[in-house]
Structure 1
Amino acid sequence: MSAPEREHTEGAGFAAYVFDAYGTLFDVHSAVRRHQQALGAHHQAFSDLWRTKQLEYTWVRSLAGQYRDFAALTEDALDHCLARFPQIDRGLKADLLHAYRRLDCFAEVPEVLTRLRARGARIAILSNGTPAMLEDAIAAAGIGSLIDDVFSVDALKIYKTAPAAYALLTDRLGLAPDEIAFQSSNRWDIAGAKAFGFTCHWINRSGAPDEYADLAPDAILPTLKGLTT
């Protein structure tokens, strides 16, 4: 059965469910939406570019061995966007950065995490975000009581998809890769996690075409609800 046809089976018995944060639990475009009127007609293109550059900078920094933390890269990417869209008021920068620290979580997140915890599974985050960024996002979403562990690659000074980033989970949780289910909306992240040996669920919210065929997810789900149904 091909990956798009696979369905998650409830009761799979994973000891831990680990989630990427940005784009998976938290809506990365909600920061721009809060200031949509001020940003004007180009708000979606602006938001897409901000996200693209933010990720690009993590890969370039990791390959070059020149780590710069995710908060700094988020600001660097925003500066690039403001330069690319000179019609947008640079005075919005502080407001946009503040909004990014307090992103909306996707609507299904609290219920899904609650149901997974009821199975006895451990719930964790593995993110490129700094500890302070993740603390702010979790608090703003009100989901702190549903998460057991938060792991940031900042401890390693290298970004996903470096194998060392995924090894944080096996090392800190004391679990084998096949005891961990890993969820991400980022296909490149799923590829890295699959290469490491996790069972992977790609949360394909946008209906994007698949890629990295040799590192296929174990399931493709439109939202996190598919983990509990």
Structure 2
Amino acid sequence: MSITTERSIEACLFDAYGTLFDVHAATATVAQRIGTRWQAFSAHWRERQLQYSWIRGLTGRHADFWQVTCDALDHALEAYDLDPALHREPLLMAYRRLGAYPDVLPAIDRLRAMGLRCGILSNGSPDMLADAVGAAGLADHLDPVLSVESVGRYKPAPEVYAMAAERLDLAPAHVLFVSSNGWDAFSAKAYGFRVAWCNRAGLPAERLPDPPDAIVASLDELPALAESLTG
């Protein structure tokens, strides 16, 4: 874990998809039906989901994240020549109930015990997030759960991060933002948040300005990081 310390934090906000919730868990539930290509299929679905959110943001053609997720799935099904009648609904139902990574609840509980407010800042639509948080048993552990729908823009738009700071009533430097998505981590740092990039996959650093304050391999490292920032 590498860190740069500056000022104390009072709240910790998490990205949802890929950070708290395993985005590939939905496809794993039907892996036997899809066969050996299921991981490549899942990666294609995820890549299109992100790409469509960015393109909609740049072109001003916003649709909520559920629509984007459905559109991305339809593209992936066609690209892999999979029958929508057989696969579409089971995959979408599974996506509404993605499992949380095993390091999520212990880390959140330890952060809350330190007096930090813990919440979500996500591209997900409010109903998607409610389903995922409820299915993972996190409803009593996260507040607030913030969706980009309140500003009608997707991350990495600065307005999204600004909305979160306003809702928390905190200066950006007093918020620790945690994301497993490198582009999200670097963008949140550019806005002014303190940032931990949860680099679960051991990926190389993004070639972008404003690197995160810390790089952690799992959320297990967050409490020690937060303690170093809250003196």
TM-score in same-fold range (> 0.5): yes
| Residue of structure 2 equivalent to 1:14 | 9
Shift of 1:48: 0.2
In 2, the alpha carbon distance for the partners of 1:150 and 1:93 equals 27
5+ residue gaps, structure 2: 225-231
Percentage of pairs with the same residue = 47
Q: 1:57 aligns with which of 47, 52, 58?
A: 52
Instruction: Please state if 1:114 is matched with 2:109.
Output: yes
| Residue of structure 2 equivalent to 1:182 | 177
- Contact 2:190 / 2:209 at 8 angstroms: preserved in 1? no
Shift of 1:212: 3.0
Instruction: Please state if 1:221 is matched with 2:198.
Output: no
| Aligned pairs for 1:130-141 within 5 A | 130-141=125-136
Instruction: Please state if 1:100 is matched with 2:66.
Output: no
| Residue of structure 1 equivalent to 2:124 | 129
**Aligned residue identity for 1:138:** V
Aligned length: 222
**Aligned residue identity for 1:29:** H
Name the Cα RMSD after superposition.
1.3
- SS of 1:146's equivalent? coil
TM-score relative to the length of structure 1: 0.94
In 2, the alpha carbon distance for the partners of 1:65 and 1:213 equals 24
| Residue of structure 1 equivalent to 2:150 | 155
Deviations 1:27-80 (A, max 9, x none): 000000011101111100000000000000000000000101100000000000
In 1, the alpha carbon distance for the partners of 2:8 and 2:138 equals 23
| Residue of structure 1 equivalent to 2:64 | 69
Moved over 4 A (4+): none
Shift of 1:89: 2.9
Deviations 1:175-201 (A, max 9, x none): 001100000000110111011001110
